[in-house]
Amino acid sequence: MYRKEIRVIDCTIRDGGLMNNWKFSDEFVKAVYEALVGAGVDYMEIGYKSSEKSYSRTENGPWKFCDEKDLRRIVGDNKTNLKLSCMADIGRIDYSDIPPKKESVVNMIRVACYVHQIDKAIALAEHCMDKGYETTINLMAVSKVNERDLDEALNDVAKSRVPIFYIVDSFGSMYCEQIELLARQYLKAMPDKTIGIHAHNNMQLAFSNTITAIIENCNILDSTLLGLGRGAGNCHTETLLAFLKNPKFKLRPIFKVIQEHLIPLQQKIEWGYHIPYLITGVLNEHPKSAMDWMDSEEKYDFIKFYNQMTESYALE
């Protein structure tokens, strides 16, 4: 009924922070942490590791930086089975921003990059491994990558020490057939690596694409509570845990935190499926334009947004 190799990473605070500049209250972050501990989730991605040279602390909350003092204020020494993860964007962090693992409660650093940055991603991920962390490389916007560049990237990662490599549907533009093909391509090129999936929900396919990835032997899965994430959001943690049938996962703590914290948050910030996100997903475009539209007074003028986005497309 379940595959014991599968691990779940809840990215609510990290990906959800894209909707409020990571300005979650301590109460909210602690409630998410305690719910994930109670639910038996494997990892909590609590935010980004970022350089102050790249981001302002006045414009961004603490979970854009994940300083040790802020982490420990929430999790203490984290003497639980839940591991903590942070994401690091290539070009937005210095090696010196990452302390040795023995000085941190963080267990995993996930390195996010575009295909032209794959060499830098491998170098940073291996640097993190040398400091004692688990690592992954998350190749963003793979739906925009041409075949030759992808082959070269997979070949480089295959020769690296990095153990986990991700299929990332950054624009929520991919169908199950594409996920199936990529999973098979990744595993053929890197048979000794674990493959992960990070899906966005622009076309309401994040959950089904994650299921496809599971069928194709992807064993590390990203999700967020109530789908909280950039724009249309992500595969829902509550739906995924229910599907996996692993007896270690408990749904009651997840439902409780959604009821007490995520539903009230929905009254303050808006995320999830909307027509503008569908349009950018169909067009395989970054959702930023849709996010800006959703913040405008014209948010429900779908025709105007569609016309604006398709001026250069022969799409009816």
| Domain boundaries of the chain, sorted by first residue | 7-266, 275-309
Q: What is the mean pLDDT of residues 241-270?
A: 97
Q: What is the mean pLDDT of residues 253-276?
A: 97
Pairing between strand 7-10 and 43-48? parallel
d(CA 137, CA 258): 29
Q: What is the mean pLDDT of residues 14-19?
A: 98
User: Per-residue pLDDT for 284 more than 70?
Assistant: yes
Count CA within 13 A, CB hemisphere, residue 271: 29
pLDDT in tens, 137-188: 999 999 999 999 999 999 999 999 999 999 999 999 999 999 999 999 999 9
pLDDT in tens, 209-251: 999 999 999 999 999 999 999 999 999 999 999 999 999 999 9
**What does pTM read for this prediction?**
0.96
d(CA 224, CA 14): 9
Q: Which amino acid is at 121?
A: A
pLDDT in tens, 191-210: 999 999 999 999 999 999 99
Query: What is the structure's pLDDT at 13?
Result: 98
Q: What is the mean pLDDT of residues 55-59?
A: 95
| Domain formed by 7-266, architecture | Alpha-Beta Barrel (3.20)
Residues 62, 93: contact at Cβ < 8 Å?
A: no
Query: What is the structure's pLDDT at 90?
Result: 97
pLDDT in tens, 89-130: 999 999 999 999 999 999 999 999 999 999 999 999 999 999
The two structure tokens encoding residue 256: 């409780």
User: Per-residue pLDDT for 314 more than 60?
Assistant: no
Query: What is the structure's pLDDT at 313?
Result: 58
Residues 41, 249: contact at Cβ < 8 Å?
A: yes
d(CA 121, CA 114): 9
Give the Å distances, CA to CA, from 14 to 2, 153, 230, 234, 253: 27, 25, 10, 12, 20
pLDDT in tens, 130-144: 999 999 999 999 999
Residue owning tokens 């990473």: 9
- Going by pLDDT thresholds of 50, 70 and 90, the confidence category of residue 312 is low
User: Per-residue pLDDT for 258 more than 60?
Assistant: yes
User: Per-residue pLDDT for 315 more than 60?
Assistant: no
* Closest-CA residue to 45 (of 148, 122, 136, 120): 136
The two structure tokens encoding residue 224: 């967020």
Q: Pinpoint the alpha helices (H) of 147-236.
A: 147-158, 176-189, 206-215
Query: What is the structure's pLDDT at 234?
Result: 98
Phi-psi region of 289 (alpha: psi -120 to 50; beta: other; left: phi over 0): alpha
Pairing between strand 220-223 and 108-113? unpaired
The pLDDT mean for the chain works out to 96
Q: Which amino acid is at 225?
A: L
Q: What is the mean pLDDT of residues 6-26?
A: 98
d(CA 6, CA 146): 29
